[in-house]
Homo-oligomer: A and B are copies of this chain.
Amino acid sequence: MVTVGSPRPSPRPTPRKRTPRAREIIATARSLLEALGRDGLTMRRLGDGLGIRAASLYKHLDGRADLEVALAETGLDEMGVALHAAVARSPEDPVPAVLGAYRATGLAHPELYRLVTAGSFPRARLLPGLEAWAGEPFFLAVHEPYLAQALWSFAHGTMILELDRRFLDGSDPDRAWRAGAAAFDAARVAGRDTAHRARASRQPPEARETAGG
């Protein structure tokens, strides 16, 4: 049975309106990105891919930063769709579900994933609310905002380490994912139980917080 106060998913932000030609450009930019990496995706090469000179791209986009924002928005949108579907599909075991979906979409488009999470790009220009919506399933999975952020952090950290092949030689990323999933699932269950007990004794759960440094 679903617990009391189970939060509802927010509506998916509507994608930005773009001209057909702009969408065409973004599509080929995406395939170039995945093929050549972020540095390999240059304006001149993108022009080549479209049979156009680089300068002409500026009739459709505000520049490279704008292009990257557009790419990131498609990536975040797809990630959000996948994660929301995952938690909706298995509400009784949501932690492995979100993590599995997160990992799958990251592995499916590594360069796009890297771009979205790059830190160097103009995140402020992103469609407002999009990134929050895409990350919401972590909250829907564990029902506690800071445990959700910690889970999100774990997912991102593991994903990027796997993509960059930074795990030790011969070690299986799968087992790191599973170890983290187990830890966070235990925390989720523990949190749910203390919330129940707290509700029963009319005491807010904050009062039971540990003191940890």
Contacts and interface: CB of A to CB of B under 8 A. Distances in A.
Interface string A115-146: 00101100100000001100000000000111
B190 A176 contact: no
Contacts of A149: 158, 161, 167-168, 171, 173, 175-176, 179
B213 A100 contact: yes
A93 B212 CA distance: 9
For this chain, the copies found in one complex come to 2
B175 A146 contact: yes
Given A176-B153, A179-B149, A180-B154, A119 B163 contact: yes
Interface of A: 37-39, 93, 96, 100, 114, 117, 119-120, 123, 131-132, 144-147, 149-150, 152-158, 160-161, 163-164, 166-168, 171-173, 175-187, 190, 210, 212-213
